[in-house]
Structure formats: C-alpha cells, structure tokens
Structure 1
Amino acid sequence: MSKLKTGLLHAIAWIAILLLFAGIGSRSGNFRESVIIYIYFGVINICLFYINYLYILPKFLNTRRYLGCTFSIVFLILISGIIKYGVASLFADVVLRSKTEPRGYLSFWEYYTGAFFTGTFFIVLSTVTKFTLDWFVNEKIRKNLENEKLTAELAFLRSQINPHFLFNSLNNIYSLAYQHSERTPEAILKLSEIMRYMLQESNEPRVELWKEIRYLENYIELQKLRFRSDDNVRMSVKGNDTEQTIVPLILIPFVENAFKHGVTSDPSSPIIIDIDIQNGRIVFTVKNNKSGMNKDLTSGIGLNNVKRRLDLLYPGKYNLDIEERGELYCCKLVLEL
C-alpha cells in the first residue's frame, strides 16, 4: 500500500473517531463544548500518537537507545500536559469549570494529572500499534524470504537430479550404439519420452500420479534394454492412479539408486518395485540385492536430494524407511498424497 493511501486511511479513521465522540458527547450537553473537548484535545493526543509512532520509536529503538527513548517519551508526555492546560485556559469555562470545586475551576495540578494519564494512554497505544504493525511486516518479509529460499533450493535440487539422470541414460544409449544394437532406436525413443516429461511436467508443482508412474515405467524399460531377460526388473502397480497428484520426480531417485547399486544381471535376484495406492496415499517400495561391483562416487546425491525435497514439500506427511538386511537393500516410502 502506498504512503498516500496509508495517510488517507489514517486521516479518515481519526476524523471518524473524533466526530463520533463529539456527536455522542453533544447529546448530553452543548455541541460547542463537545467540539472543543474532543476536537481540540483529540488533535493534540493524535499529535502525541504520531510523534511517538513516526519519530521517537524509529529513531531510538532501531538503534537500541532505550534510555533515550524512555526519556523522550516521558518528556513528551510532560510537555503535552502543559500544552493541554494552555489550550484549556483559553476555554476555561468549558474545560476547567468544576461543579465540585468551591472555587469553580480545576487547579493546574488537578487538570494536569488527568492530562498526564490521557497522554500516557495515547503513547502506549502508538507503541503497541508500532510493534504490532512491525511484527506483521517482518512476518510477511520473513515468509517471502522463506518462499524465495524454498524456490531457489528446490530449483537447485531439481537441477542436480536432471543432469545426473541424463548422464546415466546417455551412457546406456552409448553402450548400445557402441555394440551396434538394434535396440538403439527404441532406447532413443524412450529417452525422448522421458525428457519430454522432465521438461514439460517437472516444472509444475504437482502432476497426475499416473504420469509419474508412466515416467518410471519408461525409465525401467530403458534400463531393461541392457538385459537379455525382462525378469531382471519386476514392477507392479495396485490401486487407482488417475485421481491423485504428486510432486514430480520424487520417486525416480529410489529406482535409479536400485539400478546403480543393485544386482541387475541376475534374473534370480531381480529389482522389485511395488506401488500401492489407497486411501489418498501411496506406498512405494523398492528392493534390490546389493552389488559389490557397482560403485559410484556420486551415489548419495539422488537420495540426499529426495530426502530434502520430501522435508520441504511433504513436511509431516511422509515416512521413509531404508533397511539393509545382509545383501538385501529395501527402501519404503509412505506418502500422503
């Protein structure tokens, strides 16, 4: 909101408040008396409010000069009482007249005591308003910074995932081409479908679950081209995947990790991938036998990234269990969709 709009809103609010109190006060007395009491002294109190709000608090609190701030506020309240008495003296018959005092008028100290407490009230009101509005502004800034940080972090994590996957896939296709395999065109087609998904869908915050599963199937089919038997990898999908959505590229690191570190040449110990969708959640399980031959210096990047993404995008809505039982390695992800 611009400063001009903010100033107009403040002015309209104060005018409405003063006219309201002047109107209420005039019902039991003279309207002129109400105008003098509520308008003249209301303006003085409003000045107290903004002197503290716009000058004293920003100047002293922002530099942590608390003693100077306290002295300035007390001095402002004391001076305001004297100013109010001076104005009251101009309208003594209205403001200073007392029905209980024999002399008929309030003394300086009698009036000053009331003015002191009134001034203190407006100073406290401006201080509370300042701290409250600053808290909301700082909270908004903090959330914006968190969102910017989250967006940047997710973009960085995703940028790590995509080149890593592309590097592995191109290595596979290179191997097939080097062997002059007839499966090379099929591999290129599968990779094009995978890259199309990564480029078009992965930039969305969420995608249909069936698309993510189709992406996994294409990836697995691309990997199967290296094997003589389809039994090296077994994948099953249970449940309805057409009514749910998921964050893209959240499952692939588990499958990729199984291919990198699992036994992929023996059909008797296949990589097993199970997807069970029910009651608004997905149970995703990947099992593989560990291979001592498959070492990769970047082995931890994929899973570390996906754990971080899960923390950011599904806080409190997932459970990841990774077990190593002898030669068996098992990852189980339970995710609330």
Structure 2
Amino acid sequence: MKKKTTGIRYKFWIHLMVWVLYGSECTYVYTVTAGHPEIVLIENVQIFLICAVLFYSNSDFLLPAFFERKKYFSYIGLLLLSFVLNNVVHYLVLTVANPHWLGPNANYAYYTPYELGVGATWWWFQSILLSFGYWFARLSIKRKEEVQIIRTEMTKKEMAQLKLAQEKLELENEVLRTQINPHFLFNTLGYFYNKVEDTHPEVAEGIVALTHIMRSSLRKVDTDGFVSLAEEVDNIDYLISIYKMRYSNGVYINFEKTVRCHHLRIVPHTLITLLENAFKHGDMHDAAHPLTVRLEADTSHISFFIHNKKRFGPKEISNGIGLAYVAKHLEQVYPDRHLLHIDNKEFFYTLTLNITGEAAMTQQEI
C-alpha cells in the first residue's frame, strides 16, 4: 500500500512539473510582446487549466471507457461535445469573465469571433492529440507488463508441471527398480526352497517368508492403487521373522498391532519400507532397547510407530531412496491427511506416521 501511494505521489509531481515547464515556455513567448504581460499570464494559466481538464478527461476517461471498448460512435460523440464545451468555456472566460474580473486593463483582450474560434480549436486539438499520445504510451507499457506477467505465470506453471512430471517419473523409476531386483530373486526362490526343505527347514521357512514378501511386491495393485492393510501386516510379520532367523533369534523386536478393522486398504509397501529402514540402521541386539513397532488402525485412522536404538559402525548399504519414496508417495496420495514425523537423535531414532480421516484410506466392501 505504501509503495502504491509513493507511486501516485511520484506521478503527480512528474505531471505537475511537465505542465509547469510547458506552460512557462508558452507564457514566456506570449508575454514578451504583450502590452500587459500580467494579464497574458492570467489568461495562459486559465487556458492551461482548461487544457489539463481536456487532456485527463480524454486520456483517463473517454479513451479507456469508450475507445478501448470499441464504442467508437459514443467516443466520437463525446469528443465533439468536449469540443463544443471547450469553445463555450473559452468564450465565457476570455470575453465575459476576464474583462469583468481584470478591469479596464483587459480591454485589449477582447477577441473577434474568428480569433476566439481559431484559438479555442487549436488548444482543444493540441490537448486531445497530446492525450492520445500519453494514453497510447501508457497502454503500451501496461500491455507489455501484462504480457510479462502472463509469461512469468506460464513459466511458473510450466516449471510446476515439469517438476510434477519429473517427480512422477522418478517415482515410477523407483517402483520399477524395486520390482526388477525382487523379480530376479523370485525366480530362484523355488529352486532354493526345494534344495533346503529337508536339510535346513529353518532356511526353507525363511524362503517361504521371503517368497510372500516378493509376491506382494510383484503383484499388480488393484484398480484403486491400494492393497489391504492385512497384507501389509503379514509382510511385516514375514520381514520380522526373516531378520530373527538371520541373527538366530539374537535380535529384540516388539511388534504390537491393534487393528480393529481388517478390511482397511493402504498405499502398498508404505509400512514395510519404513520398517526396513529401521532394520538397516538400527541396533536390535540390545535387550534393554529393543526395536519397538506399534500399529493401530480403525475406520478413522492408521497410526504406525517405530522406535529403535541407532547402530554405530558398519551398516548395510543404503541409498536412502526408500524413505524419500514413501514421503513423496504419501504427499501425493494423502496431501492434507497425513503426518510423517521423524525424531532423529544422537542415539535413538523415532518415526511416527498418522493417516487420518475416512478419505485418507479406502475400505474394501465385505
């Protein structure tokens, strides 16, 4: 608001200065040869006030209101009316009012009708012509600014669309990447299972668990883009069992689940990816600080909680794609109905995911 007020003041002083300079130049020319320069000065001030009224009436009202809207006949009619009013005002001021106001010294200022008509017409024509130039210049600047604004908005929109398309492509690439490796593994799991089923039943059990996880990963999601929450919970159980077998039950993991509605559906691989991140970076060998996982779900919300002690020293190779993928996917599917909070402290890592509202999840009909 302050900037706008400053601009108006600046414009006012610029216009005033131009009128003063223009009027001073004309007044100087007329008063050099005049017998009564003080009277000529007064008359010129009057004339320039009339010209200013014509100038701004045309540039700020008639042209924008009629000419720009292609109401040409109305504009021409009003322009002719301004011509008539200009001549009448000139006549009243110069031949009636001034002799009365200025006294005997103004006698010389009586004009013949011809002189009055020519002078009034000249000043009217000059004011209208200058106002046309001023209006055209201002309109050109305005349209250039509008074009620049449109180009800027289009550029922003194009950049936003490009960014969205790029993010979508990245997500699709990551989904494809997560499918390629499991697909290769899945083709060999059956062979390994048959080889170790009799000799190493615990390994065979682990292969079965891994097979279920791989099958869930490779299975095409339903048309709504969701999978059942029960399937996601089963995958968590399978993943935990694999890690326990991997470390000969030397890891401490507490998984608590309270699912009051077993037909909820959720974005696939969301929970298991978050849990896998904890396995990669967490220390699960401390009985005093076990990996704690809690899942609560009903018809109005899903809450997922992970708390683990951080591991120091050698860690599993990770590119950090999984967590970033989940965060982007959640933002796209639940833009206003989820909260992903991570508390990454020096020794402990805590993650909380809350999805709220019936619109945040779908419920498969029984």
Structure 2 residue corresponding to 1:320, chosen from 342, 345, 361: 342
Q: Judging changes above 3 Å, is the alpha-carbon distance between structure 1 residues 319 and 297 closer, same or farther for their aligned structure 2 residues?
A: closer
- For 2:74 and 2:179, the matched residues in 1 are separated by 74
- For 2:200 and 2:221, the matched residues in 1 are separated by 31
Paired residues in the alignment total: 251
Q: Does 1:195 align with 2:214?
A: yes
Contact 2:186-2:214 within 8 A present in 1 as well: no
Contact 1:204-1:248 within 8 A present in 2 as well: no
Structure 1 residue corresponding to 2:154, chosen from 121, 137, 140: 137
Q: Does 1:182 align with 2:205?
A: no
Q: Judging changes above 3 Å, is the alpha-carbon distance between structure 1 residues 261 and 99 closer, same or farther for their aligned structure 2 residues?
A: closer
Structural mapping, 1:43-54, within 5 Å:
none
Please report how far the alpha carbon of residue 177 of structure 1 lies from its aligned counterpart in structure 2 after TM superposition. 6.3
Q: Could you give the per-residue CA deviations for residues 63-90 of structure 1, whole angstroms, max 9, x where no partner exists?
A: xxxxxxxxxxxxxxxxxxxxxxxxx9xx
Q: Does 1:117 align with 2:134?
A: yes
Tell me which residue corresponds to 2:303: 282
- SS for the counterpart of 2:85 is coil
- SS for the counterpart of 2:353 is strand
Structural mapping, 1:194-233, within 5 Å:
194-199=213-218, 200-201=220-221, 207-224=227-244, 233=253
- SS for the counterpart of 2:155 is helix
Structure 2 residue corresponding to 1:34, chosen from 63, 66, 74: 74
- SS for the counterpart of 1:145 is helix
Contact 2:244-2:251 within 8 A present in 1 as well: no
Contact 1:260-1:296 within 8 A present in 2 as well: yes
Q: Could you give the per-residue CA deviations for residues 102-148 of structure 1, whole angstroms, max 9, x where no partner exists?
A: 41764342221221232134213422331232133112201111102
Tell me which residue corresponds to 2:117: 103
- For 1:174 and 1:296, the matched residues in 2 are separated by 30
Structure 2 residue corresponding to 1:238, chosen from 258, 270, 286: 258
Please report how far the alpha carbon of residue 181 of structure 1 lies from its aligned counterpart in structure 2 after TM superposition. 2.5
Q: Judging changes above 3 Å, is the alpha-carbon distance between structure 1 residues 248 and 144 closer, same or farther for their aligned structure 2 residues?
A: same
Please report how far the alpha carbon of residue 178 of structure 1 lies from its aligned counterpart in structure 2 after TM superposition. 6.2
Q: Judging changes above 3 Å, is the alpha-carbon distance between structure 1 residues 139 and 207 closer, same or farther for their aligned structure 2 residues?
A: farther
The two structures have a TM-score, normalised by structure 2, of 0.50
Tell me which residue corresponds to 2:171: 154
Tell me which residue corresponds to 1:51: none
- SS for the counterpart of 1:301 is coil
Q: Could you give the per-residue CA deviations for residues 288-327 of structure 1, whole angstroms, max 9, x where no partner exists?
A: 68597xx4451x335x6404642674489321123464xx
The two structures have a TM-score, normalised by structure 1, of 0.54
Q: Judging changes above 3 Å, is the alpha-carbon distance between structure 1 residues 264 and 334 closer, same or farther for their aligned structure 2 residues?
A: closer
Tell me which residue corresponds to 1:249: 269
- For 2:138 and 2:128, the matched residues in 1 are separated by 16
Q: Judging changes above 3 Å, is the alpha-carbon distance between structure 1 residues 132 and 208 closer, same or farther for their aligned structure 2 residues?
A: farther
Which letter does structure 2 place at the counterpart of 1:285?
Answer: I
Q: Does 1:128 align with 2:145?
A: yes
Deviates more, 1:258-267 or 1:236-245: 258-267
- For 2:278 and 2:186, the matched residues in 1 are separated by 14
Percent identity, aligned pairs only, is 17
Please report how far the alpha carbon of residue 257 of structure 1 lies from its aligned counterpart in structure 2 after TM superposition. 4.3
Contact 1:229-1:267 within 8 A present in 2 as well: no
Say which structure is richer in helix: 2
Which letter does structure 2 place at the counterpart of 1:317?
Answer: L
User: Which protein has the larger Cα radius of gyration, Structure 1 or Structure 2?
Assistant: 2
- SS for the counterpart of 1:332 is strand
- For 1:270 and 1:164, the matched residues in 2 are separated by 30
Structure 1 unaligned blocks of 5 or more:
1-13, 23-32, 39-87, 89-93
Structure 2 unaligned blocks of 5 or more:
1-65, 88-115, 357-366
Tell me which residue corresponds to 2:96: none
Q: Does 1:301 align with 2:322?
A: no
Which letter does structure 1 place at the counterpart of 2:74?
Answer: S
